[in-house]
Amino acid sequence: MKRFLLLLVFAGIQTLALAQTSYDRLRFGLQLTPNFSWVSPQSRFTNAESSGFGFGYGLMAEYKLTDNYFFHSGFGITQLSHFLSLDSNTYRTPASTQQKIYNVNYRYRLQYIEIPLAIKMRTNQIGAIRMYGTFGVEAGIMVQGKAQVKNGGPIFDPDEFFFVNRSEDEIATGTTFSDDVIPFRMSLLMGAGIEYLLSGNTNLLLGVRFNNPFTEQFSGPQMTARVPYTALHLGIFF
């Protein structure tokens, strides 16, 4: 997966580097992507709880292939927030004993650097509007992972890298928990929307995106799930 991710990133950089020889075909823009993510369990131990809202922002870059077809890429920071629970799990205590805890709840906040590699298809201009569709893949690298662990038993100690029983009544908040999260994410990317011509080369963009991963989000033997998300895509091309 790491080699595949690096290959896609290299291909995108090479394409944009070649595009520098024809500046009239290359355009840049800024984007905002508020998102809504949820958990798709892949094992019988993992349960999806309530979904969460996140936020993203970044740079867009497009290379014009023809009047209606573009190679779409960019660089974005995306934060995902979602909730899940486990039917049961066994944690190790400081005394090296094991304790089984039921219905352990987690709230994850994960932040990724994401790079899309896609083909964008755009209609002819209708008044000041063009409609478009996007299809491709999106590679992500996690740069931050945090979780809140809510249960009445052991909670994760980020310094010792195992669960400890601090208090029977304590609810863990703000606890770093990233060792079970896979740091690489590869997804199918689909999108649609409109571009509105303001003047010259300046276009407003309004659309939606669906990011559907085909890699697992977690690496634990019991916690197995994928996390798709839908985003509102707001941007401006200069």
**Residue 13: phi, psi to the nearest 5?**
-65, -40
Give CA–CA dist 60/192, Å, rounded: 15
Q: Dump pLDDT digits (tens) for 45-66.
A: 777 777 889 999 999 999 999 9
| CA-closest candidate to residue 181, choices 230, 231, 138, 143 | 143
Number of domains in the chain: 1
Q: Dump pLDDT digits (tens) for 7-19.
A: 555 555 555 555 5
pLDDT, the chain, mean: 79
**Using 50, 70 and 90 to split pLDDT, how confident is the model at 176?**
very low
Domain with 113 in it: 2-237
How distant, in Å, are the alpha carbons of 18, 26, 34, 74, 116 from that of 22? 8, 7, 33, 18, 22
Determine the pLDDT at residue 14: 57
Give CA–CA dist 146/149, Å, rounded: 10
CB 206 within 8 A of CB 196: yes
Q: Which of 6-15, 117-126, 185-194 has the lowest mean pLDDT?
A: 6-15
CATH number of the CATH domain containing 206: 2.40.160.20
How distant, in Å, are the alpha carbons of 104, 106, 109, 123, 157 from that of 148? 11, 6, 9, 46, 12
Q: Average pLDDT, stretch 129-133?
A: 97
